[in-house]
Amino acid sequence: MTPADFASFSNNAIAFASVVYVLALVSHIAEWAFGRSVPAETSAVEQPVAVGAAADAGASYDGAAAADTGTAEPDADLVSKAENVEKFGRIGVALTVVAALLHFAGLVARGLGADPARVPWGNMYEFSVAGAFGVTLIYLVLLRRYSLRWMGVFVTGFSVVVLMLAVLLLYVPAGPLVPALQSYWLVIHVVAAVIAAGAFAVGAMASALYLVKARAERRADPPTTGYVARLPKATVLDRVAYRVHAFGFPVWTFAALVAGPIWAEYAWGRYWGWDPKEVWAFITWVVYAAYLHARATAGWKGKGAAVIALVGFATLLFNFVGINLFGSGLHSYSGLD
């Protein structure tokens, strides 16, 4: 195959991945739509003894205990709806895996479609595609360990939005790298940044849902049906957010404060020059350092730490989108005129 063939294959693979992500998103929406009228404690594999009884919520949910709903829905109907919840949830995960494989194939082909072949993150379009893949990859890697299927609707929705914006607004033909990017540090620095950004995105989703769940749990009559009721307990969401951020922070430290300056010395003859992207990478690092400190401090656990995590993700997005598209400096590699 010629580079042009690989570039065409990449475009088609990304387009098909976007379609499959949409189908996965629809499946997860159907999962939660069927679960709207099913009490959170009802399992698809166990016959519920009563609508208001506390039972296992199944392997896909950490199962917050629910109060008596006061309804008298037939057990068979509850089991049927719970089975639909499980079915569409599994379909959503399977489609996400297929989409991720197409996504990865599109990334690889994009690099092979350049002449000469290179890593597939040399402009804003490629950064966006690689970043969306990083979010999906982190989600799938942690899916079974932390029972993250409840996050599937947000991860697939995020991937759909990013890929659509990349294709419609940021696309540029595959081409050679600019001189400053022609370094093996491009591989090391960007791979670390993509992994960290994926972890921070998953952590931001968990933090946002923690705030929603914690508020629901503080109510005098917490919901027993619907999406919020089927989320894990607020303490579980807080723990997931902390662990994902604790993984992403040292990776970001390496990407922004170690690999980045070394590459800057190689490309521009100085380790640090207060370029806008360097400044915002450092700001992002400071905010996430504050999050981890706050999370380890008893008085700031919970809501305060979650808000800091969301602020950190906002700075990360601005660093990625704002600086690349609207900023000036040595890091302006959007590829857009």
Rounded CA separation 194/212 (Å): 27
Average pLDDT over residues 119-128: 89
Query: Sorting pLDDT into bands at 50, 70 and 90, what band is 300?
Result: confident
pTM given for the model: 0.83
Is residue 306 a part of any domain in this protein? Answer: yes
Is residue 201 a part of any domain in this protein? Answer: yes
Q: From the CB of residue 173, how many other CB atoms can be counted at a distance below 10 Å? A: 12
Is residue 336 a part of any domain in this protein? Answer: no
Nearest Cα residue to 152 out of 77, 220, 234, 97: 97
Is residue 331 a part of any domain in this protein? Answer: no
Q: Which of 18-22, 106-110, 193-197, 265-269 has the lowest mean pLDDT?
A: 265-269
Is residue 241 a part of any domain in this protein? Answer: yes
- What total number of domains does the chain contain? 1
Query: Sorting pLDDT into bands at 50, 70 and 90, what band is 299?
Result: low
Query: Sorting pLDDT into bands at 50, 70 and 90, what band is 150?
Result: very high
Is residue 275 a part of any domain in this protein? Answer: yes
| Predicted pLDDT of residue 121 | 86
The residue segments making up the domain with residue 56 are 3-326
Instruction: Give, in order, the Cα–Cα distances in Å from 125 to each of 11, 162, 164, 167, 187.
Output: 11, 10, 11, 7, 17
User: Which DSSP string do the residues of 251-318 spell out, in sequence order?
Assistant: HHHHIIIIIHHHHHHHHHS-S----HHHHHHHHHHHHHHHHHHHHHSGGGTTHHHHHHHHHHHHHHHI
Is residue 263 a part of any domain in this protein? Answer: yes
Is residue 333 a part of any domain in this protein? Answer: no
Rounded CA separation 267/333 (Å): 14
Query: Sorting pLDDT into bands at 50, 70 and 90, what band is 56?
Result: very low
